[in-house]
Amino acid sequence: MSTENLPGVPEEPIARRGMFGAADSGDTSGYGGLVVRRPPKLSSAKPYGGYFDEVADALERVAGDAYAGMVERVVVDRGELTIHVARERLVEVMRHLRDDLALRFELSLGVSGVHYPEETGAELRAVYHLCSITHNRRIRVEASCPAADPHIPSTVSVYPTHDWHERETYDFFGIVFDGHPALTRIEMPDDWEGHPQRKDYPLGGIPVQYRGATIPAPDQRRSYA
């Protein structure tokens, strides 16, 4: 492992809990005493290197004065460019990214969600991976929303392929994509309660529809303590 990839010194270490009765560490084996550290909030300064500067400059040019309100921060990490966009301006940014001649991200690879329960006010993230076939480039766009107000505007009008992807992210994370043509569950049953990929949702512990049987949550199943 190269040392520059290691996370910086975190403000306060957090421990993962809840598996196999290992309450004092995040280690499922029960032997490590691991402390899982919170990832640092990264933000990169210009120049970003490679084509990333061209992409950022082009976006700044088309957005004009609005750029500062659109782009919250830019992260360059492991050779990937991530643009964190304010959710109110997401559709506008996506349209610029798709249509501007210098950007031309024609192909979207869909939406992925991530839940960061510790990041108050930005717990839920929608992550978009875009690809430009014209320029042979890739970028990542992220928009966040608080868990208390899980709304992000739908980008189906810009990238029709986001139809199912947004449904999936809604299904698993509960992010409501405002303006989606038919935002319903796609993988889980229609009457399912909760959003399973959130971090506070347990693995197991869900009553199953088989003669009233229930599967206990892993932390209640067995314990090495």
The residue whose two tokens read 């031309």 is 104
**Residues 44, 119, 161, 179: which binds other proteins (CB under 8 A)?**
161
d(CA 56, CA 95): 15
Point out which residues pair with 80 in neighbouring strands: 77
| Span near other proteins by CB under 8 A; candidates 50-58, 61-69, 84-92, 106-114 | 106-114
Residues with Cβ within 8 Å of 14's Cβ and at least 6 positions away in sequence, in order, are 35, 36, 37, 38, 118
Residue ranges in 190-219 that form contacts with other proteins under rule CB under 8 A = 196-197, 203, 218
Q: Please state, in angstroms and rounded to a whole number, the distance separating the CA atoms of residues 80 and 59.
A: 17
Binding to other proteins by residue 100, rule CB under 8 A?
A: no
Binding residues for other proteins, rule CB under 8 A, total 59
What is the nearest approach in angstroms of other proteins to the Cβ of residue 90? Answer: 18
In the chain, what is the greatest distance between 2 CA atoms, to the nearest angstrom?
A: 62
Q: What are phi and psi for residue 214, nearest 5 degrees?
A: -130, 150
113 binds other proteins (CB under 8 A): yes
- Residues near other proteins (CB under 8 A): 1-2, 4-7, 16, 19, 26-29, 31-32, 34, 36-40, 42, 77-80, 82, 106-110, 112-115, 127, 129, 131, 133, 136, 138, 140, 159-161, 163-165, 168, 172, 185-189, 196-197, 203, 218
